[in-house]
């Protein structure tokens, strides 16, 4: 069973039997930022330096597009020298300017590595062309992006998924099994909602509804704009009536993407049933005080493969992990992720992970 969600003296010990490598590092929040809600909300307000992004647009096979923001090594890298590439899959309504994305890409750049943030369709600041949106079941898009990167010899390739992006990368890893090792060296999923049906119910309760409302403040206007362009697919009045994520998914995600209803979408999108099939070294990082994903909804020992290292931190909130003096910065998380990747990087004369 999981350790208690409310711990007073020490962080829960990581389940070492799931870790083939790597050492857990305890996150200690600053005294001025107590509690899971504060550790979740405060990081979103942080303003910081933006990485030196270079934008690139990829045309998708179905006639749409996605935008990727790159950070490149400052020095010219000889063709046969392997430079790690970290690809980030952001969270719901995130982007390359999300604080966690900025901090991770700055850390990647400081190392002389290459980094890239994939913007899901419609998340780069420009509406996508097609009726479809992004969603938590769309591991086919993740597969296309990762295989294109691998085919362009961006190796060794390392993946980070944040929240919704964490569920996506875990779903892809489980679906691909051993074949994922031909593409990725290692992966990390941070605060991923592995069980979408139960997480959506949890977000409809009490104070958690403030997070739902924050998401709907951007999701609904975007969906209404789509309804104007594609009225045959979307019911604008039904979209306006959505008061939680389940109602939004009933009105938008399900009808546009071919799901029977929200329950069907959640069942087909959740990564939890696929975790036993993961064959790439993967860190699954969560916080016990995450208001989005309570620890009773996290995977049990018998539900993950031996390639999965489950790490439950006592603190951190939902993708928080702020450190330092006021106002602080998200510095612990990039250090933890890069330390994990260090354990799995191949020798530079053997750049292929498969």
Q: What are φ and ψ of residue 323, in 5° steps?
A: -135, 170
Q: Are 39 and 316 in contact (CB under 8 A)?
A: yes
How many other C-beta atoms are found inside a 10 Å radius of the C-beta of residue 325? Answer: 8
Tokens in use for 195? 């069980």
- Which positions are annotated as active-site residues? 163, 290, 318
Following DSSP, what letter does each residue of 6-62 receive, concatenated?
S-SSSPPPP-GGG-SS---------TTS-SHHHHHHHHHH---PPP--EEEEEE-TT
Query: Among 198, 236, 201, which residue's Cα sits nearest to residue 220?
Result: 236
Q: Between the CA of residue 105 and those of 25, 84, 97, 114, what are the distances in Å?
A: 21, 13, 10, 9
Tokens in use for 176? 């691909």
Query: Among 160, 123, 127, 124, which residue's Cα sits nearest to residue 319?
Result: 160
Helix (H, G, I), strand (E, B) or coil at 166: helix
d(C-alpha 239, C-alpha 92), whole Å: 18
């Amino acid at each position: 069973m999981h350790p208690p969600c409310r711990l007073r003296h020490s962080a829960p010990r990581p389940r070492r039997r799931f870790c083939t490598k790597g050492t857990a590092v305890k996150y200690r929040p600053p005294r001025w930022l107590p509690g899971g809600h504060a550790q979740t909300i405060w990081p979103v307000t942080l303003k910081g330096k933006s990485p030196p992004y270079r934008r690139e647009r990829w045309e998708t096979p179905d006639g749409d597009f996605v935008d990727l923001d790159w950070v490149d090594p400052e020095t010219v890298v000889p063709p046969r020298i392997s430079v790690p590439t970290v690809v980030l899959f952001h969270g719901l309504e995130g982007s390359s300017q999300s604080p966690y994305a900025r901090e991770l890409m700055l850390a990647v750049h400081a190392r002389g590595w290459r980094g890239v943030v994939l913007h899901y369709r419609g998340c780069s600041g420009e509406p996508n062309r097609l009726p479809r949106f992004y969603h938590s079941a769309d591991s086919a898009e993740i597969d296309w992006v990762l295989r294109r990167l691998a085919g362009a010899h961006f190796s060794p390739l390392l993946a980070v998924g944040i929240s919704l992006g964490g569920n996506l990368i875990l779903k892809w890893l489980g679906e691909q099994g051993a074949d994922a090792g031909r593409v990725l060296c290692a992966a990390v999923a941070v605060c991923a909602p592995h069980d979408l049906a139960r997480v959506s119910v949890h977000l409809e309760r009490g104070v958690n509804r403030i997070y739902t409302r924050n998401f709907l403040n951007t999701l609904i206007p975007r969906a209404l704009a789509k309804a104007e362009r594609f009225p045959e697919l979307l019911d604008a009045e039904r979209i306006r009536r959505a008061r939680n994520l389940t109602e939004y998914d009933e009105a938008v995600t399900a009808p546009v993407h071919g799901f029977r209803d929200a329950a069907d979408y959640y069942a087909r999108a959740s990564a939890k049933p696929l975790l036993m099939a993961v064959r790439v070294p993967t860190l699954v990082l969560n916080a016990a005080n995450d208001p989005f994903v309570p620890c009773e909804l996290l995977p049990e020992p018998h539900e993950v493969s031996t390639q999965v290292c489950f790490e439950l931190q006592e603190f951190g909130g939902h993708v928080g992990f702020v450190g330092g003096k006021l106002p602080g910065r998200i510095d612990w998380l990039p250090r933890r992720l890069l330390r994990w990747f260090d354990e799995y990087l191949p020798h530079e004369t053997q750049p292929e992970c498969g």
